[in-house]
Amino acid sequence: MSAAVLLLAVLLVPGDPATAASPVHVAEGVNLTPIATEAHPDQESQRPEEADAKAGEFKDGMLWRSHPEGIEVYAATSPAVLVPHDLVRAWADTGWENGPFGYPSGGHYSAGSDTRQPFTGGILGVRPDGTSYWLPATTELPDFTVSGAGWGHGVGMSQYGARAMAAGGSSATDILEYYYNPAEVTDSSTAAASDIRVQVLTSKTSEVVVSGGKMQVIDPTANQAYTAPAGSKLVLGRAGSQLAYELRTPDGFDVVPRDNNEDGVPDVDPAPEANKVTGKLIILWEGTRDWPAKNRATISVPGANEESSAPGVYRHGYLEAGLLDDRVNLVAALRLNDEYLYGLAEVPSSWPRAVLQAQAIAGRTYAMRKLNTVRDSCDCNVTDEVQDQKFTGWKKENEKSGYGARWKAAVEATIKRNDAGVPRSGKVVVYDGRLAETLYSSSTGGATRDSEDVWGGAARPYLRSRPDPWSLEASAKNPYDAWEQGTSQEEMAEVFGLENVMSVEFERGKDLSIVSATATSMSGRSKTLPGKEFRGKDSGVGARSAWITGIEPSVGPPVETTIKPGNFCTTTVKAGAGIARAVSAASDGEVICLQPGTPKPSSVVLKPRQTLVGGK
């Protein structure tokens, strides 16, 4: 056994009173608070002055003592830090306190299958095979790039996937029976000519303006119907518990007298009050089924389309105006099978006809499931926003360059009418004799998702995860077939509740969506979050979809440098020089290296913790 190995054994065999190691003293300002270490059972009673052969002192007064798992390093007034056996070897190979790493500044921890420990000059680590390495003391903390694919919840039909399928020759039925398998497409005469109630606006106040024809306002309280010319405006608000309204001509005169002044004459004192109604106003306009006329009027409602500064414009049906939770609530009532679907703005009208028809059928099926329930929250069957389906009314049907006509034709291709032109049936998606819940979203990252994985509840046989390569095909022209977003170090650390984050690993499920994400800090602490929490808008990084494909740091992890004692020489003995003299002149704990050609002595007396390296 070499002198170096023999000396290290002295420190690593605490049971032998003749050779065991001793506790350590810490330099002022060095934090030796243990992190995930086991305290020595005699720590409280064994003071430095009581140390036996199992204890000792470093060069600057720091103390050490043996421990069943290694040695403990401490100061007279500071807690002890355990350095495990394997890390004691690594520390010795770098010259103990004489080398570049100084003293331990924290407890050891696990980093994957490795064991690491911070020192004042860096981090020492030991691999499972016993080899050791070091890492720099300071490392740049990375920001992160989160990459993925897809947009939306991913349950049911992928709209961009359907586009690619249609481009490849699939029919509307092919598309729907793939995404909703084992559901089927069939004709349904149920509620073929029924109206659907669509909430188009809820606001403190509202306006309704008619164009291209007359408007009529039916007041149930006054039991009167008031007719106003083209360009007239209906102003709505609240007066106590009642709906208040003013109906004005294009010149600003009252259509409904509000005082003793003659209609069409400017009002004088006393100032007129708004008309008040208990219940709901009915608003009609020329050229609809409810008011057949040569003129084909439209009405516009500012603020009705959340995604546009332009007002919502409506051609079909009629409006109801009432109060809901002290706010003006506007609901359009129009025939589901055609008038409502004409205004469904879920896909661009320029897309292939098969995908337009598939969207019309899916939209009809979704809306028909809602017909029997008027929701208290909106006094409607559906809203006009994507929480249900995006409905923009006349704006969709009247798209320029023939696009509105293409969409309307796609809707008509899914309807059968009687001789009077009234719908008698429409194509729908059914499963086990009932309307399917035809959920859909923009695109996926390569597979659709099971409904219960997104919202919980019972599994739906037709809303199962299935491969969706079409969302990622070039013919889909999907702007979200690959996306990236940045997440700062501060944001990532906050998401995981760690002091910092060096890396994030993640797992994906059978539907290719993220199942979990595990972050590791610089100190080796790790935390795992469910995929939904990691990607969430409020709880996580706000990822665009569940299909995460990468979480890359802006800088890589610190490089591990394998420890070789010959790289940490504190004293070098040249060939022909006196080895004994060099050992005597060197301090305790130094690494003494023999240059090539220097014969290694058969015996040499080393000072405590010295290491002899090299020679022949």
Q: What's the rounded mean pLDDT across residues 187-192?
A: 96
Alpha helices in 152-224, H assignment, sequence order: 159-167, 172-179
Q: Which residues pair with 246 in a beta bridge?
A: 235
Range of lowest pLDDT (19-33, 46-60, 169-183, 602-616): 19-33
Confidence of residue 198 (pLDDT cuts 50, 70, 90): very high
**Residue 304: its pLDDT value, please?**
92
What pLDDT band is residue 41 in, cutting at 50, 70 and 90?
A: very low
The answer to whether residue 16 scores a pLDDT higher than 60 is no
Q: Residue 262 above 80 pLDDT? A: no
pLDDT for residue 599: 79
Which pLDDT score, from 0 to 100, does residue 611 have? 86
Angle at Cα 177 formed by Cα 175 and Cα 180, nearest 5°?
105
Pairing outcome for strands 318-324 and 327-335: antiparallel
Residue 614 has pLDDT above 50, yes or no: yes
The answer to whether residues 579 and 603 touch, using CB atoms and an 8 Å cutoff, is: no
CB-based contacts of 295: which residues, under 8 Å, 6+ apart? 212, 213, 214, 230, 286, 287
CA–CA separation, 215 vs 201, rounded Å? 19
At residue 503's C-alpha, the angle toward residues 551 and 543, to 5°, is 30
Name the band, by pLDDT with cuts 50, 70 and 90, for residue 581. Answer: confident
pLDDT mean over 184-205 = 97
How many whole angstroms separate alpha carbon 495 and alpha carbon 530?
12
Helices of type H across 298-402: 341-342, 353-370, 394-397
Residue 51's pLDDT is 34
Joined together, the tokens standing for residue 94 give: 């770098």
Confidence (pLDDT) at 589: 87
SS3 (DSSP) at 48:
helix
Six-digit token string for 586: 């060197």
Among 79-83, 277-281, 540-544, 579-583, which is the least confidently predicted range?
579-583
Q: How far apart are CA 590 and CA 93, in angstroms?
A: 9
DSSP H or E run through 307: none
Q: Report d(CA 289, CA 474) in Å as an integer.
A: 44
**pLDDT over 80 at 218, yes or no:** yes
pLDDT at residue 14 tops 60: no
Phi and psi at 585, nearest 5°, equal: -80, -25
Q: What pLDDT sits at residue 535?
A: 96
Rounded mean pLDDT, 233-239: 95
Cβ atoms of 367 and 340 within 8 Å: the answer is yes
- Residue 43's pLDDT is 27
Contact 226, 253 (CB under 8 A): no
SS3 content of the chain, % helix, strand, coil (to 5): 20, 30, 50
pLDDT at 99 over 70: yes
363 pLDDT exceeds 90? yes
Positive/negative CA dihedral, 406, 410, 413, 419: negative
3-class secondary structure per residue, 37-54 = CCCCCCCCCCCHHHCCCC
pLDDT (0 to 100) of residue 533: 97
The percentage of the chain sitting over the pLDDT mark of 90, rounded to a whole number, equals 72
Q: Summarize the confidence of residues 433-447 as an average pLDDT.
A: 98
Q: Mean pLDDT across the stretch 445-449? A: 98
Residue 496: its H or E element? helix 489-496
Task: List all residues 6 or more positions away from 109 whose beta carbon is below 8 Å from its beta carbon.
Answer: 35, 36, 115, 116, 117, 523, 524, 525
Question: Would you give the DSSP letter of residue 384?
Answer: S
Tens digits of per-residue pLDDT, 114-150?
A: 999 999 999 999 999 999 999 987 778 999 999 999 9
pLDDT of residue 616: 67
CA distances for 271 relative to 93, 235, 258, 264, 577, angstroms:
96, 17, 9, 15, 114
Range with lowest mean pLDDT among 3-7, 306-310, 324-328: 3-7
Tokens at residue 447, please?
């597979």
Q: What is the pLDDT of residues 552-561, one digit of tens each?
A: 999 887 889 9
Q: Please give the pLDDT value at position 138.
A: 72
Q: Are 8 and 611 in contact (CB under 8 A)?
A: yes
Number of other CB atoms surrounding residue 499 within 10 Å: 11
Strands, sheet with 215-219, edge to edge from the N-terminal-most edge strand:
224-228, 215-219, 281-285, 318-324, 327-335, 195-203, 382-383
Q: CA-to-CA distance for 253 and 247, rounded, in angstroms?
A: 8
Q: How confident is the model at residue 10 (pLDDT cuts 50, 70, 90)?
A: very low
Res. 524 pLDDT band, cuts 50 70 90:
confident
Mean pLDDT value of segment 494-521: 96
Q: Which distant-in-sequence residues (6+ apart) come within 8 Å of 240 by Cβ?
A: none
Task: Answer whether residue 32 shows pLDDT above 70.
Answer: no
As a whole number, mean pLDDT of residues 590-616 equals: 83
Rounded-to-integer distance, Cα 444 and Cα 159, Å: 9
Torsion sign across C-alpha atoms 174, 178, 181, 183: negative
269 pLDDT exceeds 60? no
